Homo-oligomer: A and B are copies of this chain.
């Protein structure tokens, strides 16, 4: 994996393996990626807290990994997951973090 482009991090896209919804994007460093692989649960590196972050550690809404795929230049990860707990991935209480629709302007 190429962690050099973002100072030791790669973006990690989390997709629901049943609904195919994109649930959230976090970041992993090498340690978070290794932990995700070893445990089978998504672990990010928290940029704000500057530490490893097992997603759902306190809420119980962990993300069980079904598959991990890297992209063509090995600088991004796609994790397809099963949502545990109440299934709400976002800290705002919604299933996905992507809830703010942007109105498109004129298409050419």
Contact = CB atoms under 8 A, between A and B. Distances in A.
Interface in A58-95: 64-65, 67-74, 76, 78, 90-92, 94
This chain's copy number in the assembly:
2
A57 interface: no
Given A37-B105, A65-B104, A71-B98, 6 more contacts: A20-B20, A37-B104, A39-B108, A40-B106, A68-B102, A72-B97
B13 A100 contact: no
A interface: dominant SS: mixed
B15 A22 contact: yes
Q: Say which size band chain A's interface belongs to.
A: 35 or more
A71 B97 contact: yes
A11 B25 contact: yes
A3 to B, nearest CB: 14
A39 B105 CA distance: 8
